[in-house]
Structure 1
Amino acid sequence: MTGKRRELADMIQRRKVDVPCVQETKWRGSEARNIGEGFKLFSYGVDSRRNGVGGVIKENYVDNVVEMKRVSDRVISVKLEIEGAIINVISTYAPQMGCEIKVLIGTDFNGHVDRGNRRMRG
């Protein structure tokens, strides 16, 4: 992603995504940087030639970040509190190219998308 911050910000804005995850950033270090168009990238990487993960957050949600865990150059998580709800965003990268063994990732989200995640009051 080196040199593509502006392109990334433009694409996120066009698609109207508030908190996208990015992989293979190939940026070394642990930092947060503005990428333009009102977005901030939180990233982590150890090698400028491979791996690296991050989460991009719309600037009006940056103050809602409760916790940031940079686990490795393949896993980063961001915890946000928005309108009293806790939202966990986890960005992972598991390359398969050239691997002799398969990597399987399983999860149980136990959640709902859209309006189903809150009790409807009548």
Structure 2
Amino acid sequence: MEKYRDGQRELHCVFVDLEKAYDRVPREELWYCMRKSGVAEKYVRVVQDMYERSRTVVRCAVGQTEEFNVEVGLHQGSALSPFLFAIVMDQLSEEVRQESPWTMMFADDIVICSESREQVEENLERWRFALERRGMKVSRSKTEYMCVNEREGSGTVRLQGEEVKKVQEFKYLGSTVQSNGECGKEVKTELCDKRVQMKPHCWEGHCDYSEAQYC
């Protein structure tokens, strides 16, 4: 982003949010992606055994429900689930990246970038189609669009005719990304989070606290 800021060039970014990402992964899609990724068949069968006839209950203030079958999604709280989800997303992204190479991913956090608004809109639609074809869904309310170094009249991004929320900053993987390409807010946030105090000026056993700053 610093490169685009320094060159005064636009960079269009869409931060894609998946709706109930782990809960929507189809089991058959998981087996397919594991095999396509080269996972040995014996390990595929081990995971299948873990998911076969899986049942759960819902606990509430007045007790819990009767057991019911869970036929879609990954197990909540399992240490294996993030790895299985990564396998599914890796295979999906291989297909989409053939057309949309400029994409950043970490687990279910997806960022699509392009130098033009039209292109990033096309890439977003490509991701939506690929995800929903596999039973997953893009959250319309939480997916957001940001333009770095925006010129007047750059417009907005739409997803199936619905306008994507436009923001001036976005927190991605713990870091604040700003539309002006600056990182000052991120630096200040880091300092405040760590409660950094500027040292006072001291001489001959006396200290001047007038310029000392606290977050």
TM range, smaller chain = under 0.3
Give the TM-score normalised by the residue count of structure 2. 0.19
Please state which structure has a larger fraction of its residues in helix. Answer: 2
Which protein is bigger by CA-based radius of gyration?
Answer: 2
Give the TM-score normalised by the residue count of structure 1. 0.28
